A and B are shown apart, each in its own frame.
Chain A
Amino acid sequence: MITITARRATAAGAVLLLAGLTGCADEAPAAAPGDTTGPVSVKATDSECSLSRTDVKSGTSTFSVANGGSKVTEFYVYAEGDRVMGEVENIGPGLKRDLIVELPTGKYQAVCKPGMVGDGIRGDLTVTGDAAAQVDEDTALKNAAESYQRYVNSQAVALEQKTTEFVTAVKAGDVAKSKELFPVSRTYWERIEPVAESFGDLDPKIDARINDVEPGTEWTGYHRIEQALWEKNSTAGMEKYADQLLVDVKTVVAKAKVVKLNPLQLANGAKELLDEVATGKVTGEEDRYSHTDLWDFQANVQGSQAAIQALRPALQQRDAALVTTLDTNFKAVFAALDKYRVGDGFKPYTATEAEKKQLGAVVDALAEPVSKVAGVIAKK
């Protein structure tokens, strides 16, 4: 990386380093007010997201995020259209984490997401410095793949961690805690499901529904435990499934971290995630015992959006009108979901046929333009 150009770096999303799980605010002390160099300290609470300064120099910036709230939070730097430039996920109450990210000159938003849902608390962030030239299309595409791989990586890390917590709660017989963690851990799974599905038989082991299981094969995974938790209100007999789930998830995570993706796979993955929503989530088939389908619904759409965002600079060069449509229609889907939000999550999904039809219509409206992305990307 010799010359950091605007297009190139935005495409890369350029998270150079995700800090370790314990945080490292001590090694990167917050800058004093008025300072224009050094780390930006971010004070994240349940209702606040304040930055020690909102102007940084182009190049590498460090954000030291301290969660002083009671909810698990996330911190993002968004470029236009909520394209993720960098993010730290899963910052528990009292924890500190660093985000180190390369930001070219431009306007951004710094966003905390207490409870890890919704639009988050947003503030403007301005990056000044040398203006940079646009990258060519090939570079934009290459950067897109790298950017999305980093996204997959960050989700995989969170998936392993949240599944570990879920499995621990199940094995401890803590039904309430298990129920609480079930949709949260699945969120990270659902965001990167097409990647996970590419690893053959791991997907059915982790995510099969009762009617998906082949005769003679044992039913394992999330939904097996879901059934016990909600139908029997018990974790009895679930220990071995919990252990197996964690083993399988760890295998997926290890593979996901090294997976190599090309831009077409991103585009198709974005489409497949919406297919998942249209066929499994809108109908309420996915989480038939817990009715937490809307968590999965949102996660699928977020995962789809992440892939599209990674492709955004390349798409912008090739079909700007499509980018506008995608932005509008992603917003419409999240707006439709808002109706069902409660606290950090969602109401149980027991929608009427009319409500399902309404959700289906916004998903169809988004899935059609998303299905066109692959063709645009493939065009020479």
Chain B
Amino acid sequence: MTERKGISRRGLLGAAGAAVATGVAGYGAHSALAGEESQAADNTGPVEFHGKHQAGIVTPAQDRLHFATFDVTTNKRDAVVSLLKEWTAAAALMTAGRDIGQYGAVNGPAEAPPEDTGEAVGLPPARLTLTIGFGPSFFIDAKGNDRFGIKAKRPAALVDLPHFIGDNLDPNRSGGDIAIQACSDDPQVAVHAIRNLARIGFGTTSVRYSQLGFGRTSSTSRAQSTPRNLFGFKDGTNNLKLEDTDKLEQQLWVQPEDGPDWMVGGSYLVSRRIRMTIETWDRTSLSEQEAIVGRGKGTGAPLGKADEFDAIDFEAKNSEGEPKVAKEAHIRLAHPQFNNGAELLRRGYNFVDGSDGLGRLDAGLFFLAYQRDPRKQFIPIQQQLARSDVMNEYIRHVGSGIFACPGGVPAGSFWGEKLFA
């Protein structure tokens, strides 16, 4: 009885459950759960785990995040490969809205700890996606060791991020050998996923840090409205979207000519924990806030325009002859026009991690951006922003990470199979 058919959390998935019960053991068992490339329209259904690209990148951004990075605590390649297989099997079950393991949360032997931790029992799949990435230290550790024999497979684009002006990075909130991004419309479903993956990892991995995000700050589909960040502004109006299929190939997905092979169809993730000094921001006048961002706070329209999605006119001048969108406004410095056409797919989240002991909220934006090549995209954009963005007075980058997220997992495969082939 090694078959891992999983236990439906709500017992509502009759047809899918029957399909899966006939599957073989382990990580290959769940391909029949949903149609190819399905993008759930409502916020309760499952998002297909398998496919050409990993889910959780162009998937319409869910409302909640639990992001974690892991340090690998073993030097054994086999142990890492086994863990990736186990993780993949669990991820396929959880994204389908099922308990993990053979018995799940409550059907196992009374004397044994439950295989599944149980807090998602009764909850829908809630569009859970789990997305994995590998950091530079996975390929070569701090002492220069090629622990897993994959040093030669490190992509050239997976560079160590340079120091950006003003960076105040906490090493305990930065880096990590492996990152897993859990996004869902239900916070408990996202937390359940990371918790169970961390548990499976004990002995092979140790959680380096984790971050909760309670509200999306980007839309990744034109079907979604643009959400607001904690500055109170619409964020991600000009984001890359699911529907921009040509642009996604140019800007988001690693192409065959980019190499290495195992990254084709994948993408590079940069994570930045950006603390906002929201108390001082809140004392700033409306006109100054709008000038800093370059958009109207209410409409989200570029300054000088009426509608959020109007094209930005960087040449327009006000009555004093100054550009309506200031030279150092955030949207100008971040715009592709001033970055050699470079764009990012952003899917960041607002966070408030309590307060900082000085009576201020420990709040900000957990910035997540996917791209084809960080050397041509995030790095030059951030160098320009770090140097000149007037928003810098109100933000501080306190955590950082870069990860190579491989292409999608075909049914029967596992996370990183090509990397370890």
Which A residues are closer than 8 A to B by beta carbons? 264, 267, 325, 329, 357, 360-362, 364-369, 371-372, 374-379
Kindly provide the distance from the CB of B99 to the nearest chain A CB, expressed in whole angstroms. Answer: 16
CB <8 Å contact, B203 and A365: yes
Knowing that A325-B203, A357-B206, A362-B73 are A-B contacts, what are 5 other residue pairs whose CB atoms are under 8 Å apart, sorted by A's residue number?
Answer: A264-B111, A365-B73, A371-B113, A375-B112, A377-B111
Please, which residues of chain B bring their CB within 8 A of the CB of A360?
206
CB <8 Å contact, B203 and A364: yes
| Chain B residue with Cβ nearest A380 | B109
Kindly provide the distance from the CB of B287 to the nearest chain A CB, expressed in whole angstroms. Answer: 45
The majority secondary structure among interface residues of chain A is helix
CB <8 Å contact, B112 and A361: no
**Contact indicator per residue, chain B 100-115, by CB within 8 Å of chain A (1) or not (0):** 0000000011111100
Please, which residues of chain A bring their CB within 8 A of the CB of B109?
375, 378-379
CA of A365 to CA of B73 in the docked complex: distance in angstroms? 10
Which B residues are closer than 8 A to A by beta carbons? 73, 108-113, 199, 202-204, 206
12 sampled A-B residue pairs with Cβ under 8 A: A329-B203, A361-B202, A361-B206, A364-B203, A367-B202, A368-B203, A372-B113, A374-B112, A375-B109, A376-B112, A378-B109, A378-B112
Supposing A357-B206, A361-B206 touch, asked if A368 and B111 sit within 8 A by C-beta, the answer is: no
Kindly provide the distance from the CB of B197 to the nearest chain A CB, expressed in whole angstroms. Answer: 13
Please, which residues of chain B bring their CB within 8 A of the CB of A377?
111
Please, which residues of chain B bring their CB within 8 A of the CB of A369?
203
| Chain B residue with Cβ nearest A366 | B203
CB <8 Å contact, A375 and B108: yes
CB <8 Å contact, A378 and B202: no
Please, which residues of chain A bring their CB within 8 A of the CB of B202?
361, 364-365, 367-368
| Chain A residue with Cβ nearest B103 | A375
Please, which residues of chain B bring their CB within 8 A of the CB of A371?
112-113
| Chain B residue with Cβ nearest A360 | B206
Please, which residues of chain A bring their CB within 8 A of the CB of B113?
371-372, 374-375
CA of A264 to CA of B199 in the docked complex: distance in angstroms? 23
Kindly provide the distance from the CB of A148 to the nearest chain B CB, expressed in whole angstroms. Answer: 17
| Chain B residue with Cβ nearest A365 | B203
CA of A374 to CA of B114 in the docked complex: distance in angstroms? 11
Kindly provide the distance from the CB of A376 to the nearest chain B CB, expressed in whole angstroms. Answer: 8
Q: B108, B202, B204 — which one has the most chain A CB atoms within 10 A of its CB?
A: B202
Kindly provide the distance from the CB of A282 to the nearest chain B CB, expressed in whole angstroms. Answer: 13
Instruction: Point out the residue from A329, A361, A362, A375 that lies within 8 Å of B111, measured CB to CB.
Output: A375
CA of A209 to CA of B199 in the docked complex: distance in angstroms? 30
Instruction: Point out the residue from B108, B110, B112, B206 that lies within 8 Å of A364, measured CB to CB.
Output: B206
| Chain B residue with Cβ nearest A363 | B202
CB <8 Å contact, A378 and B111: yes
Instruction: Point out the residue from A365, A367, A372 that lies within 8 Å of B112, measured CB to CB.
Output: A372
CB <8 Å contact, A368 and B199: yes
| Chain B residue with Cβ nearest A374 | B111
CA of A264 to CA of B109 in the docked complex: distance in angstroms? 13
CA of A371 to CA of B113 in the docked complex: distance in angstroms? 7
CA of A375 to CA of B103 in the docked complex: distance in angstroms? 12
Kindly provide the distance from the CB of B178 to the nearest chain A CB, expressed in whole angstroms. Answer: 14
Please, which residues of chain A bring their CB within 8 A of the CB of B112?
371-372, 374-376, 378
CA of A180 to CA of B149 in the docked complex: distance in angstroms? 48
Q: Which 6 A-B pairs have the closest CB atoms?
A: A375-B112, A365-B203, A378-B111, A361-B206, A368-B202, A364-B202
CA of A329 to CA of B76 in the docked complex: distance in angstroms? 14
Please, which residues of chain B bring their CB within 8 A of the CB of A357?
206
| Chain B residue with Cβ nearest A367 | B202
Kindly provide the distance from the CB of B256 to the nearest chain A CB, expressed in whole angstroms. Answer: 39
Kindly provide the distance from the CB of B261 to the nearest chain A CB, expressed in whole angstroms. Answer: 33
CB <8 Å contact, B73 and A361: yes
Please, which residues of chain B bring their CB within 8 A of the CB of A365?
73, 202-204
Kindly provide the distance from the CB of B9 to the nearest chain A CB, expressed in whole angstroms. Answer: 22
Please, which residues of chain A bring their CB within 8 A of the CB of B206?
357, 360-361, 364
CA of A329 to CA of B202 in the docked complex: distance in angstroms? 11
CA of A376 to CA of B108 in the docked complex: distance in angstroms? 11
Kindly provide the distance from the CB of B216 to the nearest chain A CB, expressed in whole angstroms. Answer: 31
CA of A369 to CA of B111 in the docked complex: distance in angstroms? 14
Kindly provide the distance from the CB of B143 to the nearest chain A CB, expressed in whole angstroms. Answer: 15
| Chain A residue with Cβ nearest B114 | A375
| Chain A residue with Cβ nearest B108 | A375
CA of A367 to CA of B73 in the docked complex: distance in angstroms? 15
CA of A325 to CA of B110 in the docked complex: distance in angstroms? 23
Please, which residues of chain A bring their CB within 8 A of the CB of B111?
264, 267, 374-375, 377-378
Kindly provide the distance from the CB of B196 to the nearest chain A CB, expressed in whole angstroms. Answer: 12
Please, which residues of chain A bring their CB within 8 A of the CB of B199?
368
Please, which residues of chain B bring their CB within 8 A of the CB of A375?
108-109, 111-113
CA of A376 to CA of B113 in the docked complex: distance in angstroms? 11
CA of A211 to CA of B110 in the docked complex: distance in angstroms? 33
CA of A357 to CA of B207 in the docked complex: distance in angstroms? 10
Kindly provide the distance from the CB of B195 to the nearest chain A CB, expressed in whole angstroms. Answer: 13
Kindly provide the distance from the CB of A304 to the nearest chain B CB, expressed in whole angstroms. Answer: 15
Please, which residues of chain B bring their CB within 8 A of the CB of A267?
111
CA of A364 to CA of B110 in the docked complex: distance in angstroms? 22
Kindly provide the distance from the CB of B250 to the nearest chain A CB, expressed in whole angstroms. Answer: 42
Please, which residues of chain A bring their CB within 8 A of the CB of B203?
325, 329, 364-366, 368-369
CA of A374 to CA of B206 in the docked complex: distance in angstroms? 24
| Chain B residue with Cβ nearest A332 | B203
Kindly provide the distance from the CB of B269 to the nearest chain A CB, expressed in whole angstroms. Answer: 24
Please, which residues of chain B bring their CB within 8 A of the CB of A366?
203
| Chain B residue with Cβ nearest A325 | B203
CA of A52 to CA of B374 in the docked complex: distance in angstroms? 70
CA of A377 to CA of B206 in the docked complex: distance in angstroms? 28
| Chain B residue with Cβ nearest A271 | B113
| Chain B residue with Cβ nearest A377 | B111
CA of A320 to CA of B219 in the docked complex: distance in angstroms? 50
CA of A374 to CA of B108 in the docked complex: distance in angstroms? 12
CA of A261 to CA of B350 in the docked complex: distance in angstroms? 52
CA of A362 to CA of B110 in the docked complex: distance in angstroms? 27
| Chain A residue with Cβ nearest B71 | A361
Please, which residues of chain B bring their CB within 8 A of the CB of A367?
202
Please, which residues of chain B bring their CB within 8 A of the CB of A364?
202-203, 206
Kindly provide the distance from the CB of A325 to the nearest chain B CB, expressed in whole angstroms. Answer: 8
Q: B109, B112, B199, B204 — which one has the most chain A CB atoms within 10 A of its CB?
A: B112
